Homo-oligomer: A and B are copies of this chain.
Amino acid sequence: MSAQSPLHMTEQRRVILEELRKVRSHPTADKIYTRVRRRMPRISLGTVYRTLDLLAAQGMIRKIESAGTRRRFDGTVEPHYHIRCLECGRIADLPPGEMPGLEAHFRNQTDYDVVGHTLELLGTCPACRKDRTEGKDVGVRPASEQ
C-alpha cells in the first residue's frame, strides 16, 4: 500500500516535486499549481492533483491532514480522542482524558504559543481484523462506514 513500482519521471512530475520541495510551507494543490505554471504554463490542475497523489503513494512526498475531508460530529462533549479504522473509516471513542505531558513536550520545540492539539489514533477495527483473518479481500473501501 505504500512504495510502488519505480515511477516514470516525466517533466511534469519532476517539476511538481521540485516546486514542492523548494518551499518550507505546506501548500495546497492549487498553490502548487500556481507555482508550477510559472515554469510550465500549459500544465493542468488535474495533472497536479494526479501527480501529488502518485508521489504520495510512492512515499516521495506526504499528504497532511490525512483524515477524510468530510466533517463529522460527536454528541459527547467531554474531551476524548478518537481512533479511526484505516480500512472501513469507522471512528470509535477512546476513554476520556488527555495524553499527559503532551503539549508540555512540544512547548520548547516551537515559536508558536501552544494552546491545544488534535490527536487521532489509527488502526484496524475488530470487524476488519476479523475479515482479514478469514481471508476476505476487503481491499480499501474508503471511509463510507456506519
A interface residues with partner B (beta carbon < 8 Å): 17, 20-29, 31-32, 52, 56, 59-77, 81-83, 85-86, 90-95, 99, 102-103, 105-106, 109-126, 129, 145-146
Residues in chain B near residue A123, CB distance under 8 A: 110, 112-116
Subset of 26 A-B contacts with CB under 8 Å: A21-B75, A25-B146, A26-B72, A26-B73, A26-B74, A26-B91, A27-B146, A28-B72, A28-B73, A52-B73, A61-B77, A62-B77, A63-B71, A64-B73, A65-B120, A67-B67, A67-B118, A83-B106, A92-B110, A112-B121, A112-B123, A112-B124, A112-B126, A114-B122, A118-B119, A118-B120
